[in-house]
Structure formats: C-alpha cells, structure tokens
Amino acid sequence: MPITLRNKAVEDRIRAVGKRTGEGPSAVIARAIGYVEERLNAEDEARKAKRVAAMERLRQQADEMFTDEDRAAIRREMEDLYDEDGLPK
C-alpha cells in the first residue's frame, strides 16, 4: 500500500538525507525504520531482562521466606487439589 506524506518538511528532510547518501526516498525511509526497529528490539530485550531479574529476586526471597515445613505443607495441599495426572480433583 503506498504511503503519502503530507508534511513538506519531512519530505524535504528525506530528500536532503538521500542527496547526502545517494539513496532514494524509499531507501532513506527503510534505513531509518531499520534503526527504529533495532532500538525498539533492544528496549524490549532490556525490559525482558529486567523482568527476569525481578522474578529471580522474588524467587530467592520466596526461598528465604518458606521453611521446609512450609514447603511440605504446600506440597500436601497441592496433592489434595490435583490427581496423579495433574488434573483438579
């Protein structure tokens, strides 16, 4: 689907970059979008890493909060909730 730019200043900037790089408008836009996609992907990965680190910290805190008796009680309760196939009783 064709895209029509209705912003003369943006068109002028695209053409100016194209003159400097020897590229046409489509190539300039494609390269610019590539940079944006790379940045967004890096931001997504950073958010993912931050969430994983937070989950790991939470898991470590949970390990410290529960005693062996607590864990055994949780396992007993889980056994009462689910059958041997993991389905609710």
pLDDT of 24 > 90? The answer is yes
pLDDT of residue 40: 98
The answer to whether residue 1 is domain-embedded is no
Q: Which residue range forms the structural domain that includes residue 20?
A: 9-81
pLDDT of 11 > 80? The answer is yes
pLDDT of residue 45: 98
Alpha-carbon span 51 to 47, nearest angstrom? 6
Structure letter (DSSP) for residue 47? H
What is the tally of structural domains in the chain? 1
Alpha-carbon span 65 to 53, nearest angstrom? 18
- Write down the pTM of the prediction: 0.62
The answer to whether residue 59 is domain-embedded is yes
Task: State CA 20 to chain mean position distance.
Answer: 35
pLDDT of residue 53: 97
Find the mean pLDDT for residues 6-30: 96
The answer to whether residue 4 is domain-embedded is no
The answer to whether residue 67 is domain-embedded is yes
Q: What is the pLDDT of residues 32-44, one digit of tens each?
A: 999 999 999 999 9
Using a 10 angstrom Cβ sphere, with 0-12 exposed, 13-18 middle and 19 or more buried, the burial of residue 14 is: buried
